[in-house]
Structure 1
């Protein structure tokens, strides 16, 4: 089989299945995993798919459907961890903060030091992670559970946010577009994230490189409601520059594996 033919079939498989692992593709095409990784790297550069931790995911999922948490956990893992570590540096003892139900927020919860602070969240994963940190007070929004994202949404969750005011909110989303604002794949997630933004004095958006310049199904708010964007070193330089020209503070997280 020609290389081009194999790569064409890889794209078709990824689009049909939404996600696939390197080991599966290696077996399907009877080539080494290293060969598959090179194929995926080339196809990602051509914007035909997105590489994930150990595999690849489709570039064309239905933006009106939320990606399950287990799938999000393996997408751009290193970049999300770098962003989370940079965000943790902005948290001080005594802070009252919001963490949303994103995987990046979960990585941030894992990295938070056990210091006196209050964390308000709609994420089951974040709440469970912080339960082992005795000095951190955790407040859950409650509400309707979305099984895919392990998060609480809906009127009860939104109403609970009206009762609090925090100094910092750390939020992720599906896409950030300079003209079209910040957006999510799910309308209920968009509504609660808008409430989180309204409840915070300072809003930090944690966005890996794949989300810059993108627009998803449901609008959260405009970029004027954001104080700072934390992204990773793979972020397109022109996108970062355009954000800075809009007078947004942009932090590019260093790679944690650098020595």
Structure 2
């Protein structure tokens, strides 16, 4: 087997299982330990995997990698539903809210369709469609224009111009990642600019984000952790993250998926 074929086989194994051990590759491919380690070094230098002690794992997402809406919506569904239910409790009748694009905010939209006299500002076609499918005469929905991103956000100068000058009671901000150093981030520069305008328009900032967002850093910061009045996450959020968010944000709320399902079934 040529080196290129062997490295491709290694890469396919990593992508399918998430990681490999050197000892297993030596046995399966019938080559020396040194040969496998050299292959892993080559693949790591190309950014195709990450070397770890005794093997390798799949490369983490880059700061500009932006998964599509369908791919993201399939992840952490129970956690997102619990977070959305908790966030919906912060929505009061007769208020103006903004929902930025995202799968968690899209889930939240389903839980507030019955809130009376609600004004909704959004830069998400999918979120606007949720309200379109559940019409109310006493509800106003404002959909910004803009350029569509892979995650179905409408961004850019048109979206920014539509948002500028608006004032909402609460913004529910969907984020790609969050960290102590970078704050709340996105892999899309135009989306960051648009979301920053949404943050500026809001009296209260609520960030519904599942635990997998912690430690993920997109290329551009939307807001600092300290700018969030409420962060809603799930029990999978690491203790270190809980301490950091609690120290910087106004409030951290942990939404329990099992508890929420029991409440829903009553």
TM range (shorter): 0.7 to 0.9
Matched, 1:12 2:53: no
Residue equivalent to 2:46: none
Residue equivalent to 1:136: 139
- Residue 78 of structure 2 aligns to a residue whose secondary structure is helix
Deviation for aligned residue 1:166: 0.3
Deviation for aligned residue 1:176: 1.2
Match of 1:257 among 239, 248, 261: 261
TM-score of the two chains, using structure 1 as the length reference: 0.75
Would the aligned equivalents of 2:231 and 2:249 in 1 still touch at CA under 8 Å?
no
Residue equivalent to 1:96: 96
Residue equivalent to 2:184: 182
Deviation for aligned residue 1:86: 0.5
User: CA–CA distance in 2 between the matches of 1:178 and 1:106?
Assistant: 25
User: CA–CA distance in 2 between the matches of 1:176 and 1:128?
Assistant: 27
Matched, 1:121 2:122: yes
Aligned residues: 211
Structure 1: give runs of 5+ residues left out of the alignment: 1-7, 17-47, 49-57
TM-score of the two chains, using structure 2 as the length reference: 0.74
Residue equivalent to 2:71: 71
Residue equivalent to 1:201: 203
- The one-character-per-residue Cα deviations of 1:179-205 (angstroms, maximum 9, x if unpaired) are 222111111111111111111000001
C-alpha RMSD of the superposition: 2.1
Would the aligned equivalents of 1:169 and 1:200 in 2 still touch at CA under 8 Å?
yes
Structure 2: give runs of 5+ residues left out of the alignment: 1-10, 20-49, 51-57
User: CA–CA distance in 1 between the matches of 2:148 and 2:216?
Assistant: 27
Equivalent residue runs for 1:206-221 within 5 Å:
206-221=208-223
- Residue 66 of structure 2 aligns to a residue whose secondary structure is coil
Matched, 1:155 2:157: yes
User: CA–CA distance in 2 between the matches of 1:179 and 1:63?
Assistant: 14
User: CA–CA distance in 1 between the matches of 2:109 and 2:140?
Assistant: 12
Deviation for aligned residue 1:136: 2.2
Deviation for aligned residue 1:223: 1.7
Find the structure with the greater CA-based Rg: 2
Matched, 1:234 2:236: yes
Residue equivalent to 1:225: 227
User: CA–CA distance in 1 between the matches of 2:91 and 2:170?
Assistant: 8
Would the aligned equivalents of 1:15 and 1:60 in 2 still touch at CA under 8 Å?
no
| Structure 1 residues 183 and 251, CA gap change in structure 2 (3 angstroms) | same
- The one-character-per-residue Cα deviations of 1:34-69 (angstroms, maximum 9, x if unpaired) are xxxxxxxxxxxxxx9xxxxxxxxx662333121111
